[in-house]
Amino acid sequence: MKLDVQFQSRSLSATEYALALHEPEDQVAVLLVNRHRGQTLQRIASVETIVAPEFQNWLRDQNRSGSDVFIGMNPLKDVGPCRRSLFPA
């Protein structure tokens, strides 16, 4: 069986992508990996914070400095005031 459904791909900005995956209040992990320096950095923040211009500018600077930027596909559940679980909510 073949369906005649056409898929139209389009490019999304980083902000559009994050908001397409998550609600603004979701907590997600952002991972920065700089293979040249052998450094890895993780930040956990709300999507609202991640899409803010200041955070996007910081990510852009990190990327220009050689870091690859990854965002978690699943929101994180809150397990306490200072800790976040790596298990999806």
Angstrom distance (rounded) from CA 21 to CA 11? 14
Identify the pLDDT of residue 83.
52
Identify the pLDDT of residue 89.
47
**Whether the Cβ atoms of residue 27 and residue 78 lie closer than 8 Å to each other:** yes
* β strands within 1-89, DSSP E: 27-34, 39-46, 68-71, 76-78, 84-88
Angstrom distance (rounded) from CA 84 to CA 89? 11
**Whether the Cβ atoms of residue 72 and residue 29 lie closer than 8 Å to each other:** yes
Identify the pLDDT of residue 87.
44
CATH class of 14-74: alpha beta
Identify the pLDDT of residue 3.
63
Identify the pLDDT of residue 2.
54
pLDDT < 50 regions, the chain: 1, 79, 84-89
Identify the pLDDT of residue 85.
46
